[in-house]
Chain A
Amino acid sequence: MDYPIIDKPVPAGGWNLADYAAARRDFDWQQACRLLDGRPGGINIGCVATDRHVRAGRGAVAALRWLGKDGTVRELSYGELAAASDRFAAALQAAGIAPGERVAVLAGRIPELYVAALGTLKAGAVFCPLFSAFGPEPVYTRLSRSEARVLVTTATLYARKVQANRARLPALTQVVLAAGEAPDTLGWQAFLDAAREPLRPVSTGAEDAALLHYTSGTTGAPKGALHVHGAVLAHAWSGHAVLDLRPGDVYWCTADPGWVTGMSYGLVAPLVLGATLVVDEAEFDAGRWYDILERERVNVWYTAPTAIRMLMKYGAEPLAGRGFPALRLLASVGEPLNPEAVVWAERHLGRPFHDTWWQTETGAIMVANYGAQAVRLGSMGRPLPGVEVAIVRRRRDGGLDFLADGEEGEIAIRAGWPSMFRGYLDEAERYAACFAEGWYLAGDLAVRDADGYFWFVGRNDDVIKTAGHLIGPFEVENVLMEHAAVAEAGVIGKPDPYAGEVIKAFVALKPGHVADDALRKALIGLARARLGPAVAPRELDFLPELPRTRSGKILRRLLKARELGLPEGDLSTLETDSDSARS
């Protein structure tokens, strides 16, 4: 096969991963532990990311450079971050939070979020980030299911998204406000000051729980994917091999820490590897982003296709007169990166994007394009050395067939890599269903070519990827169904030039209700108020009835095929096949 390939210059000092074939052949995870040298006994992500650097004499190096919306810049050195996270950890101990209990944060990208995350880990508690653009419903579901004991948030977010449900969250004993005041909460400083004693060090092992990330499936409530402290080895190795991170690098990850990328690569990996992490509090703004890349002399940049496509839309004008000589490596994650975006970056930023593939459940990058190799346009790349990836088909008897190059099947990863999720919180059956014959089954479909590059095909279920965020249709349908006029609801991802997919809802009404514009707006408004703009549908159509299987499940793939004008496939399992719905 002939693919367009983009070559690039080798940076001074070469790439961290110079010889991919040799690394694939010789790699072992014990050797990779050298990336974590100098850590004390046991393993704790919070300590590896901060204290280790201080002990090695790098305490004065900038760990976090925070860029406030209003232009404020606040810098925290590794020494300051180590001390601040120790104080937060001590405050958790003073508040009676035991190792293994959950601490959640619902906040924008503010410095307190990073301090709280590291402090929670140091206290041996489990950190659960919540996306600040979630509405009250997803926030409540996650706080309730995780039985979070402490929530760190701001007065504004608390009033909008938590307060009304507080009485229904019996496990939540302490709400700490990083900004503002509200009844039944404690200010950030007051919470820290309540700790009279310094942190009593907590010994955590590689298999102790550290991070809880909620992710969505097609059906049921969101699943809490649990990760352990030992995952830090995969964060460090992938950050080293794929993102080419080295001590002293200026690194910017635009992902929000409310999602797994914003934790694994927006906090853990860069700090463990001694980089300076740029954090921008503001939302997307092309001019501001170029300013940051240029002014902060960003060396390594990790972002997402939606952002890249929006930058492309802005065109070349905001780039005039700018230069990015410091940029060494660009990487992307969230959904497959279109080849035009890679070429555009090469032309306008001087470096191509390197696509990467992984999931909440994998905890770290599993498949990637690497700096030392020419970028194969449109490909996910090749497996991270140390990780075994196959294309499989599930058999009816529960076994797996391993497919040859060129055959389309499901991505499977041999179980046992350090950042593999260790469970869905309180859902052993759902966890077990993700594995067969010692392999994790990703639910993503792909093809492997003869050179070992993987090519993304699609999902084998109905989850939606919008602006890089994974959304389960069930959570959205549930809220629409709460409206008195709605009989049934089905939700799909509709292709969008910027967001990849936007959420579109189809609704059938109960008798006596009129499908008019006012009701359409009322339903979208309800969903936005409850779910937040990232999760709510942006479009909504009425149908007389929704297509279902004989067993009664809504056929979302058929709704999608009709929306896109695609062939509808095998309709033999349909219960209703209303022609009127097809117009």
Chain B
Amino acid sequence: MTTEMIHDTVIRLLSEIAPDAQTSRLDPNVSFHDQFEIDSIDFLRLMMGLEKELKVTIFDFDYPRLSTLKGCEEYLMARASAA
């Protein structure tokens, strides 16, 4: 897994879940929630989508660590190298 893969997967899933989100302007350090109109069901769909597409397990209680693009990249890279 690479950070590019994670980045592309997040952007693709966001454009599925919230096509209204302008992902071209995504700030990697700001939470998805503060940049786009997404709710907790959207966020849950994003987490489950990442698990399925990247074939990793994300512990539910770690979800807050994945609230930004940067957080997703760091967490998922660490998960991949631990696997």
Contacts and interface: CB of A to CB of B under 8 A. Distances in A.
Chains A and B form a bound pair? yes
Contacts of A529: 20, 37
A161 to B, nearest CB: 10
A315 interface: yes
B41 A502 contact: yes
B31 to A, nearest CB: 10
A432 interface: no
A283 B60 contact: no
Interface stretch (A122-130, A519-527, A547-555): A519-527
B18 A528 contact: yes
Interface string A297-340: 00000000010001001110110000000000000000000000
Contact of B61 (A133, A284, A314, A528): A314
Interface in B18-43: 18-20, 33, 37-42
Contacts of B59: 317
A528 B15 CA distance: 12
Contact of A133 (B15, B19, B39, B60): B39
A532 interface: yes
B60 to A, nearest CB: 4
B37 A286 contact: no
Contact of B20 (A317, A502, A528): A528
A58 interface: no
Contacts of A306: 41
Contacts of B17: 538
Given A135-B37, A286-B61, A287-B64, A525 B42 contact: no
Nearest to A499: B41
A110 interface: no
Interface in A533-551: 533-534, 538
Interface residues of A, number: 31
Interface string A271-295: 0000000000001111110000000
A133 B44 CA distance: 17
A110 to B, nearest CB: 15
A160 to B, nearest CB: 8
B60 A528 contact: no
A499 B19 CA distance: 20
B39 A310 contact: no
Given A317-B59, A521-B15, A521-B16, A133 B37 contact: yes
B37 A533 contact: yes
Interface string B38-55: 111110110000000000
A284 B42 CA distance: 12
Count chain B CB atoms within 10 A of each CB in A135, A521, A528 and give the residue with the most.
A528
A283 B33 contact: yes
A285 B64 contact: yes
A160 B20 CA distance: 13
A283 B64 CA distance: 11
A529 B18 CA distance: 9
A431 interface: no
A538 B41 contact: yes
B61 A317 contact: yes
Contacts of B63: 285-286
A528 B19 contact: yes
Contacts of A195: none
B19 A533 contact: no
A20 interface: no
B64 A528 contact: no
Contacts of B61: 286-287, 314-315, 317-318
Interface string B61-83: 10110000000000000000000
Contact of B19 (A314, A467, A502, A521): A521
A498 interface: yes
A288 B59 CA distance: 16
A498 B19 contact: no
Given A285-B64, A522-B19, 20 more contacts: A283-B39, A283-B40, A285-B63, A286-B63, A313-B60, A317-B59, A318-B61, A467-B40, A498-B41, A498-B44, A521-B19, A525-B20, A528-B18, A529-B20, A529-B37, A533-B18, A533-B37, A534-B39, A538-B17, A538-B42
Q: What are the nearest 6 A-B pairs in CB distance?
A: A525-B19, A521-B19, A314-B60, A525-B20, A528-B20, A284-B40
Interface of A: 133, 135, 160, 283-288, 306, 310, 313-315, 317-318, 467, 498-499, 502, 521-522, 524-526, 528-529, 532-534, 538
28 contacts: A160-B37, A283-B33, A283-B40, A285-B63, A286-B63, A287-B64, A313-B60, A315-B61, A317-B60, A318-B61, A467-B39, A467-B40, A499-B41, A502-B41, A521-B15, A521-B16, A521-B19, A524-B19, A525-B19, A525-B20, A528-B18, A533-B37, A533-B39, A533-B41, A533-B42, A538-B17, A538-B42, A538-B45
